[in-house]
Amino acid sequence: MAPMSKDPNPAAGWWYNTRTGEVEHGELSRSIDRLGPYPDEASARHALDIARERTKAADKADADWEADD
């Protein structure tokens, strides 16, 4: 697949494609379909786990903030 970006200096990194479930190096697909960038392929492979943990932490922070009112 050819890179989507016309940027002569695209962001380096690894991405997780939520549409295909594949890991990509560089900006190969539409940004709406990607999570990242991640520093390495292994991190990109765990993108959904990372997103899930970040969501849990954000939900807890929101609940804690609302409890302080």
Instruction: Look at residue 8 and tell me if it is in a domain.
Output: no
Instruction: Look at residue 31 and tell me if it is in a domain.
Output: yes
Instruction: Look at residue 7 and tell me if it is in a domain.
Output: no
pTM for the model stands at 0.73
Instruction: Look at residue 20 and tell me if it is in a domain.
Output: yes
Instruction: Find out whether 45 and 16 touch, Cβ atoms under 8 Å.
Output: yes
**Structural domain containing residue 21:** 14-67
Q: How many domains does the chain have?
A: 1
Instruction: Look at residue 34 and tell me if it is in a domain.
Output: yes
Instruction: Look at residue 3 and tell me if it is in a domain.
Output: no
Instruction: Look at residue 6 and tell me if it is in a domain.
Output: no
Q: What is the pLDDT of residues 28-43, one digit of tens each?
A: 899 999 999 999 999 9
Instruction: Find out whether 16 and 28 touch, Cβ atoms under 8 Å.
Output: no
Mean pLDDT of the chain: 88
